[in-house]
Amino acid sequence: MGFSSSSSGLGAGAGACRRGLATASTAAASSATAAAAAAAAAEAAHAAGRGPKSLARRARALLRDYKQLSKAKLSGLVVLTAAAGFAAGSEDGPLDWSRLGWTSLGTFGAAACANALNQAYERANDALMTRTRGRPLPAGRMGRPHALAFAAAAGAAGLWVLYDKANPLTAALGAANIFLYAGVYTPLKQISVANTWVGAVVGAIPPLMGWAAAAGQLEPAAGVLAAALFFWQMPHFLSLAWLCREDYARGGFKMLSMFDPTGRRTAAAALRHCAYLLPVGFAAVSLGVASEWFAWESAALCGAMGAGAVAFYRAPSQAR
């Protein structure tokens, strides 16, 4: 009787043990199946990420970031000013379209390099400003080493093209402008309001590059183009600094408008540079760079800019 009861108990225990093992095996198998399915899904997603469509999307996104990093539109305007200098410097002979093309390409590379270096340096400042926080570096889409590598590649290629396809003088001007923009103007923006005037010098050099590429040397007439661009830029920069004064203050940049609560000093500086620009058109005529019509046309433009500066001076708080 006791033996029979023990046997029955052992049989029941063995059955329970087998059921427990079966349940555990089933659970383990289910877990393994789920893990395998998850791994397969991850692999499929990873494989899809390597597909042609995904690669194309990444390439387009990277291209957009490179365009922002190089400030492609602004660099294109720099190329146009260099091309104007090239055309003016080619007055004694036919226009060398091939050299103009190479000069434009090299100038674009130099400008892209300078702009990329600027953004690499100002990453933290740009993150604080509304108008710049969407750029590749402050937005986190690109690291600083990547931006510096892009700048090095663009600068090296641009300067080599200018040296090999134009002449050493043009390449030297391009290298000097990269240094002036990235090495002087960029850090000066956080130190002194003089940065605005240094930035205008940077913008005045590309016409000299174009002239040097065409003529192989610089002449007094080339200086007229540089002076015109320098004085023309100042009202634009000063008015932009006034309109964006709060944004610049958040970014930590020292602009004249930050120390000019009424706007009168900023407006007066803009008006002075409009006046300085007026005789440049007549100097261009006297040096044979332009016709008499150009002098009167430029005078009319100066008058229009001056009228805007006067309106700014009278009511700076309403200037937009």
Q: What is the pLDDT of residues 71-126, one digit of tens each?
A: 999 999 999 999 999 999 997 778 999 999 999 999 999 999 999 999 999 999 99
- As a whole-number percent, the residues of the chain with pLDDT over 90 amount to 66
Residue 71 or residue 4, greater confidence: 71
Domain count, the chain: 2
CATH number of the CATH domain containing 88: 1.10.357.140
Write down the mean pLDDT value for the chain. 86
Domain extent at residue 114: 61-216
At which of 194, 216, 238 does a domain end? 216
Interatomic CA distance for residues 197 and 254, integer angstroms: 12
Domain membership of residue 50 (yes or no) is: no
Domain shared by 303 and 263, yes or no: yes
Q: Taking the CA of residue 74 as centre, how many other CA atoms within 13 Å lie in the half-sphere pointing to its CB?
A: 14
Give the model's confidence band at 29: pLDDT under 50 very low, under 70 low, under 90 confident, else very high: very low
Last residue of a domain, one of 193, 216, 239: 216
Is 212 found in the same domain as 223? Answer: no
Give the per-residue SS3 of 241-300. Answer: HHHCHHHHHHHCCCCHHHHCCCCHHHHHHHHHHHHHHHHHHHHHHHCCCCCHHHHHHHHH
Residue appearing with tokens 């090296």: 156
Looking at 198, 216, 234, which one is the last position of a domain? 216
Report whether pLDDT(233) > 50. yes
* 303 lies in some domain: yes
Confidence of residue 8 (pLDDT cuts 50, 70, 90): very low
Asked, for residue 252, whether it belongs to a domain, the answer is: yes
Residue 146, domain member (yes or no): yes
pLDDT digits (tens, 9 = 90+) for 208-221: 999 999 999 999 99
**Do 150 and 203 fall within a single domain?**
yes
Q: Same domain for 66 and 206?
A: yes
